[in-house]
Amino acid sequence: MTGASSGIGAACALRLAKAGHRVVGVSRSGVAPEGVAGRVLDIREPEALERGLREIVGDLGGLDALVNSAGVAVGGPLEDTPIDLVRAQLETNLFGATCLIRAAVPYLRDGGGGRLVHVASLAVDVPLPFQALYCAAHAGLNGLCEALRYELGPVGVTVTVVSPGSVRTGLTANRRMAAAGSAYAGAAGKAMAANDRDEEAGIGAERIAAAVEKALGARVPPERVAVAHWHEKASGPLRRVLPERLFRRIIGSHYGI
């Protein structure tokens, strides 16, 4: 379980451990919920990741499932975003996830098949204003998972993407913001304020954990699960039937831009 130090990752690790699964929670800090074994692991560092995963699998005696919830959030206008924040977003949420899959698949495959579960975002269906990098990383992750099903299905490894909408976690407070220049300051401020209100009124991380547990226990795991308020779930289907410009105006209006 990656990203186990807080938020959705911590909720998943705790729920799975209480359900009787042997869970190792990894994060850059090594912190994990009480009752869950914690390990220091940075998914952005391929060599350390492979070494750490090899040690974990050795301790467990195998690997049946991998749940990835590691991620960061960067907000603000792309034009004003420093390149270090660009790298931080893409390296953690997309590059890190890719490295994680590469390292884990041999253990899942050699064990007779296993399950990959990635916690992504509904922002894949409905991109968020002034969070272009966050949306790009999750869109990339979603596309990665869709293509991997062709590769991994025949060797017995399933891939599930759990896509939350707005969730009440520390991600809101910990989001790294690029200072908006004068061209975007007003719109960015309105959009991010609306986004923060949505997250503060979002569902609890326990809902995501329940969906992950259900996917891991399903005889035929779902390929994708949306976990969100009803109106957020409806946004994706609505986009498919409305003209694109009209849909974008509706979303822009919600964010005050």
> What sign results for the dihedral spanned by CA atoms 220, 94, 12, 225?
negative
Q: List the structure tokens of 168.
A: 């009440």
| H or E element, residue 208 | helix 205-217
For residue 70, give the amino acid letter: A
Are 81 and 180 within 8 A, CB to CB?
Answer: no
β-partners of residue 227 are: 164
Question: What is the C-alpha separation between 222 and 160, in angstroms, rounded?
Answer: 6
**H or E segment and range at residue 247:** helix 244-254
Q: Within 10 A of 257 (CB to CB), how many other CB atoms are there? A: 17
| Residues involved in catalysis | 134
Backbone angles phi, psi at 204, to 5 degrees: -80, 155
